[in-house]
Structure 1
Amino acid sequence: MFGRKLLPVLRKIPANTKIKNPSSALRGPFNDRFTMLTYNTLSPHYMWPQVYTYVKDEYKNWDYRHKLLEHELFYKYKADIVCLQELTSSDYNEFWKTQMMERLNYGSNFTAKTPPSYWTKPQEYMDGVGIFYNLDKFEYLFSSSLYLNDVVGTFDQEELTYLNHQKITLTNGAGDVIGEDSLYNVAKARNQVCLFVMLRHRESKSIIVVINTHLYWKYDEVKLIQCLIIMRKLQRIIKGLLMGLEGVTYSNVKILFSGDFNSSRDSLVIKFLNGQMIKHGGINLQNPMRAYLRHSIYDDIPDDAYVHTCYSGKLKGIFDYIWFHPGDFEVQQVLSGSEVSEELALSNELGLPNKNHPSDHIPVLTELRIL
């Protein structure tokens, strides 16, 4: 089953679909196109028994799920840029880093979260985010990691005062209220990370900054703060790029921002990334990188292309995104996720993982054209 090579299963955008980019009718050479995938792989250490009661024991098994992941990433999808979340340090260092290079000639970078206070397992079992890239198509230039609790290093004094005064109602995993704390303390205590990798597309010479993150799973205000930290850090990276790389201008720097945002399409985070001004208590927040990022793949594809990207029992929704600027990239094809909902309905299953899917998320795969 796992040795047979399959072509990527891609869904073409129907001819009558309205694409907002006015250049969509223009077609360039095929070497200006590449595929990109973002995927929360569900760490074996987060297979909580109280959450995944609907999953049969044999499909919880990490060895079984890992073989499915190998099949998907090496054979079924084989994307040119792969952004993985919930990837453990040990799995990256002992398997994916070397196997991606040896099998596909893919370079990679990884950053792990710092273990929280309750963590009792070895540190190498802690998860993080990784980016893999096809070295036949991309030249590696630079990478940087960011801890999303870097509140002091990101906000000015007025903003810090606001964060200290803004209160968050704390809840447990079941949604029960367990107390209250400041937005500053809650954001500062989180251990989420972000990874930036800078690549040069060999054919077009475009500089592409690929970003991968996994935002906190609850409290919209905390996720908004984490996203703002990423955007402000990105702003500094772009400025450094323009100063440090000869011949690099705003026009040939392009950004791809992907990951598990744990945010629905009507959430504060998504409105912020779309460029809207978010009035949050006493301060106004707007994405400083809106000139580079204000568009996701969902703006270009049919509404039924993805029913959900997360199928975790009762928790279902579109939480996984790829963001870009419509003047930089054009969506050519997408992997449809709608058949997963149909499959679960036919089999009377509540969610994922299952026999055919190794994670409670599905991979979001798209083919992009560089404009």
Structure 2
Amino acid sequence: MFGRKLLPVLKKLPGKTKIKTPSSSIQGPFNDRFTMLTYNMLSPYYMWPQVYTYVKDEYKDWDYRHRLLEHELFYKYKSDIICLQELTTNDYNEFWKKQMMNRMNYGSNFTAKTPPKYWTKPLECMDGVGIFYNLDKFEYLFSSSLYLNDLVGTFDQQELHYLTHHNITLTNGAGDVIGEDSLYNVAKARNQVCLFVMLRHRESKSIIVVINTHLYWKYDEVKLVQCLIIMRKLQRIIKGLLMGIEGVTYSNVKILFSGDFNSSRDSLVIKFLNGKIIKHGDINLQNPMRAYLSHSIYDDIPEDAYVHTCYSGKLKGIFDYIWFHPGDFEVEKVLSGQEVSKELTHLNDFGLPNKYHPSDHIPVLTELRIL
């Protein structure tokens, strides 16, 4: 089943930065490198028949896809930090949590979404986001979950007034207009979540806050609201860290923000994370954490390093991100997505998943160096 493999490709980074092989890497005073992966697994309950018409039935089978996922995460990539989206509650509790610990000595945390109104399956089938981390390299300190419909606890009265009076056009899955509603109501009705995990890098003693989320799949303004909620909550967490943990200072707190943002690189969300001011009526929105997060891995690699990270039929694009501050981390290696595009063209496939790839997303893997 694993006869054909996509192997990591080292890409030369622009400027003075060079890709180093492990044998030639110049090590600092500590082991300052680790790998990080973000991956939307494609929940078995989101394998919608009307969407994945191009996928053969045997490749939709969850047992088949699960074996591919196990091969990727345990053997092919084996990243030090793994951020997974569309991970179901039951699969986390019954398999990944236990197996990651038993096979690789990885700790983990998970938070599930609340079920939507249409949900008829058991709660254990609901998906969420999980973070797994190599306990040989990282010490677990703290974790927190966040529901991305926490509007009242995040926005002031002027902002709430805008959210309740600004309407957005609603569409169905095919893109047809079906009405309109306030931005407040639409954002409030969403069930997306975010997970924060704080780790201490054992050798450098750096405090690393890892964030994993999966933003709503449509309406740029809703995704922007969700991202702003994450950033404001993160701001409070950082302030709490500085006051609550001995030895923690601004200089040794580093942040990694990852996930499936369902947002292209020219979207409102990405502009917001890049530090640009987004004007909404009389309100100007700017990322309060821009001093910590202003840079994604795509800023450090060639334009063609990734063609897409999502290959879901007609929906294709770069939607999966890892954000950080360039003064905290340096990208050493990346996994290119070019081979996937070439493979799909060769096989005349419309998209993923297929025989060799278990999800409609590809894993975004990078090696980072702590600065």
**Which TM class, normalised by the smaller chain length?**
over 0.9
Deviations 1:142-197 (A, max 9, x none): 00000000000000001000000010111110111111100000000000000000
Name the counterpart of 1:10.
8
Name the counterpart of 2:55.
55
**Cα drift, residue 280 of structure 1:** 1.6
The answer as to whether partners of 1:334 and 1:366 remain within 8 angstroms in 2 is yes
Q: How many residues align?
A: 363
The answer as to whether partners of 1:9 and 1:77 remain within 8 angstroms in 2 is no
**Cα drift, residue 304 of structure 1:** 1.1
Where do 1:321-340 residues align within 5 Å?
321-340=321-340
Where do 1:24-63 residues align within 5 Å?
27-29=26-28, 31-63=31-63
**Cα drift, residue 131 of structure 1:** 0.1
Aligned mates of 1:189, 1:251 — CA distance in 2: 38
Letter in 1 for 2:67: K
The answer as to whether partners of 1:139 and 1:201 remain within 8 angstroms in 2 is yes
Q: Secondary structure at the match of 2:332?
A: strand
Q: Secondary structure at the match of 2:254?
A: strand
Query: Structure 2: any 5+ residue segments left out of the alignment?
Result: 19-24
Q: Secondary structure at the match of 1:275?
A: coil
Name the counterpart of 2:97.
97
The answer as to whether partners of 2:10 and 2:336 remain within 8 angstroms in 1 is no
Deviations 1:9-29 (A, max 9, x none): 4332326x22689xxxx9543
Give me the TM-score of the superposition, normalised by structure 2: 0.95
Letter in 2 for 1:154: T
Alignment of 1:251 with 2:255, yes or no, is no
Letter in 1 for 2:263: S
Letter in 2 for 1:71: H
Deviations 1:31-64 (A, max 9, x none): 1000000000000000000000000000000000
Q: Secondary structure at the match of 2:31?
A: helix
Q: Secondary structure at the match of 2:163?
A: helix
Name the counterpart of 2:76.
76
Which sits farther off after the overlay, 321-330 or 171-180?
171-180
Letter in 2 for 1:143: S
Where do 1:116-265 residues align within 5 Å?
116-265=116-265
Aligned mates of 1:181, 1:81 — CA distance in 2: 39
Name the counterpart of 1:309.
309
Name the counterpart of 1:345.
345
The answer as to whether partners of 2:11 and 2:336 remain within 8 angstroms in 1 is no
Query: Structure 1: any 5+ residue segments left out of the alignment?
Result: none
RMSD: 1.6
The answer as to whether partners of 1:10 and 1:333 remain within 8 angstroms in 2 is no
The answer as to whether partners of 1:18 and 1:300 remain within 8 angstroms in 2 is no
**Cα drift, residue 130 of structure 1:** 0.1
The answer as to whether partners of 2:196 and 2:209 remain within 8 angstroms in 1 is yes
**Cα drift, residue 321 of structure 1:** 0.1
Deviations 1:268-325 (A, max 9, x none): 0000000000112221000000000000000000111100000001110000000000
Letter in 2 for 1:79: S
The answer as to whether partners of 2:170 and 2:178 remain within 8 angstroms in 1 is yes
The answer as to whether partners of 1:54 and 1:313 remain within 8 angstroms in 2 is yes
Percent identity of the aligned residues?
A: 85
Aligned mates of 1:146, 1:177 — CA distance in 2: 31
Letter in 2 for 1:123: L
The answer as to whether partners of 2:32 and 2:204 remain within 8 angstroms in 1 is yes
Letter in 2 for 1:239: K
Q: Secondary structure at the match of 1:31?
A: coil
**Cα drift, residue 97 of structure 1:** 0.2
Question: Structure 1 stretches (4+) deviating beyond 6 angstroms?
Answer: none
Distance 1:19 1:301, change over 3 A: farther
Aligned mates of 2:48, 2:354 — CA distance in 1: 15
